[in-house]
Amino acid sequence: MSPILAETKIVTLYRPSEETENVWEVRAMYGSEVIGKARIRCWTECVAIGVAFGLDVREEYRRQGLARQIMQSVETCASKNGITLLLATIRDDNPASKNLVLSIGYA
């Protein structure tokens, strides 16, 4: 495990953006610095389905397993909040994120 990964703390924040949806943000903190994040959105009328989006790790912290750790925390947060189907949105021009979500079981 990289020293950065060993010292990284994962924090989850609930951020309702509107009354029709729920949003959680999972942040990777290295000291007081946000070095990675992802969000989960689910709509109140369909609370069992969520979308993971906005996965981002600062460039200097990439290739150390941080994105995988963030996505595992996203899945844990989704499960704890009643989301039973989690979709991930990935841009076509982002092969690293595509490979990550495929490697952890998304199809």
Residue 62 to residues 18, 46, 68, 91: CA-CA distances in angstroms? 32, 34, 10, 18
Phi, psi of 55 (to 5 degrees): -65, 125
With beta carbons less than 8 A apart as the criterion, state whether 49 and 87 touch.
yes
Residue 44 is predicted with a pLDDT of 64
Residue 73 is predicted with a pLDDT of 95
Residue 50 is predicted with a pLDDT of 92
**Domain-by-domain residue ranges, the chain?**
3-103
Give how far the C-alpha of residue 63 lies from the chain's centroid of Cα atoms, to the nearest Å.
16
Across the 107 residues of the chain, what is the mean pLDDT of every consecutive 10-residue run? 82 74 91 94 80 95 94 94 91 93 91
Q: Is 3 left (phi over 0), alpha (psi -120 to 50) or beta?
A: alpha
CATH entry 3.40.630.30 includes domain 3-103: yes
Residue 101 is predicted with a pLDDT of 94
User: Measured between alpha carbons, how far is 34 from 10 in angstroms, rounded to an integer?
Assistant: 10
With beta carbons less than 8 A apart as the criterion, state whether 53 and 89 touch.
yes
With beta carbons less than 8 A apart as the criterion, state whether 52 and 74 touch.
yes
**Which stretches within 49-94 are classed as H helix?**
66-80
Residue 4 is predicted with a pLDDT of 79
Residue 35 is predicted with a pLDDT of 96
- Does the pTM surpass 0.85? The reply is yes
